[in-house]
A and B are shown apart, each in its own frame.
Chain A
Amino acid sequence: KQEVTQIPAALSVPEGENLVLNCSFTDSAIYNLQWFRQDPGKGLTSLLLIQSSQREQTSGRLNASLDKSSGRSTLYIAASQPGDSATYLCAVPTGTASKLTFGTGTRLQVTL
Chain B
Amino acid sequence: GAVVSQHPSWVICKSGTSVKIECRSLDFQATTMFWYRQFPKQSLMLMATSNEGSKATYEQGVEKDKFLINHASLTLSTLTVTSAHPEDSSFYICSATGAQGYTFGSGTRLTVV
Chain B residues whose CB sits within 8 angstroms of the CB of A100 once the complex forms? 34, 44, 46, 95, 102
Report yes or no: B49 in contact with A102, Cβ–Cβ below 8 A. no
Given the known A-B contacts A98-B97, A99-B34, A100-B102, are A41 and B109 also in contact in the complex, defined by CB atoms under 8 Å? Answer: yes
Chain B residues whose CB sits within 8 angstroms of the CB of A29 once the complex forms? none
B108's closest neighbor in chain A, by CB?
Answer: A43
Cα distance, A80 to B14, chains bound together (Å): 43
Report yes or no: A103 in contact with B107, Cβ–Cβ below 8 A. no
Cα distance, A15 to B49, chains bound together (Å): 40
Chain B residues whose CB sits within 8 angstroms of the CB of A104 once the complex forms? 43
Chain B residues within 8 Å of chain A by Cβ, number? 23
Q: How far is the CB of A45 from chain B (nearest CB, A)?
A: 8
Classify the interface of chain A: helix, strand, loop or mixed.
strand
Given the known A-B contacts A100-B102, A104-B43, are A43 and B93 also in contact in the complex, defined by CB atoms under 8 Å? Answer: yes
Report yes or no: A102 in contact with B34, Cβ–Cβ below 8 A. no
Most buried by B among A49, A99, A105: A99
Q: How far is the CB of A33 from chain B (nearest CB, A)?
A: 12
Q: Is B57 an interface residue (CB 8 A)?
A: yes
Report yes or no: B107 in contact with A42, Cβ–Cβ below 8 A. yes
Cα distance, A42 to B106, chains bound together (Å): 5
Report yes or no: A98 in contact with B43, Cβ–Cβ below 8 A. no
By a beta-carbon cutoff of 8 Å, the part of chain B in contact with chain A is: 4, 6, 32, 34, 41-44, 46, 49, 57, 91, 93, 95, 97, 101-107, 109
8 contacts between A and B (CB under 8 A): A43-B107, A46-B101, A89-B43, A97-B49, A98-B32, A100-B95, A100-B102, A103-B43
By a beta-carbon cutoff of 8 Å, the part of chain A in contact with chain B is: 34, 36, 41-46, 49, 89, 97-105, 107
